[in-house]
């Protein structure tokens, strides 16, 4: 598949329905059955995905430091939006930030290689950790940054024939 831009990517928040991760297939089916609310006016979708902690060990015998893979962390997304107090997705994100509950998230990429394919999608669960407002200078668009702490593995459904 050819590379593509981030233009057209859409971010969604679902409810707090628990997802059974026993198998990827059953978890994806559970995510696909949910109702989603799009978070609009996204300017920057952030960076996320698994990264292993660097666990080190120094042997006294040879003095070498060895690097081992530790716990996996999918990260925290800094989702930057143009602040729209009437957008249903942003309202849901602000409400989620005030709770201690895990929410479901969906990211759809406009990356289908042709109109015969569906776009690829990522699903995960996480906490909305903050909803900070960025006022900036006089000619600045009011923005809000939602930090989403991802607490599950990210399940990806690749672009496929529609």
DSSP assignment of 1-43: -----STT-EEEE--------SSHHHHHHHHHTS--EEE--EE
> What residue spans define the domains of the chain?
10-161
pLDDT for 136: 86
Q: What is the pTM of this model?
A: 0.91
pLDDT for 1: 52
pLDDT for 117: 83
Q: Provide block-wise average pLDDT over 10 residues at a time, the chain (162 residues).
A: 85 97 96 98 95 94 94 96 97 98 96 84 97 92 97 92 65
Element (H, E) at 97: helix 88-97
Which CATH fold topology does 10-161 show?
Pnp Oxidase; Chain A (2.30.110)
């Amino acid at each position: 598949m050819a590379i593509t831009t981030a233009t057209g990517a859409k971010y969604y928040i679902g409810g707090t329905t628990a997802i059974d991760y026993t198998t990827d297939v059953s978890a994806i089916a559970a995510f696909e059955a949910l109702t989603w609310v799009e978070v609009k006016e996204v300017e920057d979708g952030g960076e996320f995905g698994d990264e292993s902690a660097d666990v080190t060990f120094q042997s006294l015998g040879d003095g070498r430091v060895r690097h081992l893979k530790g716990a996996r962390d999918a990260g925290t997304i800094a989702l930057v939006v143009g602040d729209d107090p009437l957008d249903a997705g942003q309202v849901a994100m602000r409400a989620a930030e005030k709770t201690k509950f895990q929410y479901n998230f969906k990211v759809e990429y406009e990356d289908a290689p042709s109109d015969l394919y569906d776009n690829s999608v990522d699903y995960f669960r996480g906490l909305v950790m903050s909803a900070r407002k960025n006022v900036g200078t006089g000619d600045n668009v009011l923005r809000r940054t939602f930090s989403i702490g991802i607490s599950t593995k990210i399940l990806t459904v690749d672009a496929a024939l529609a």
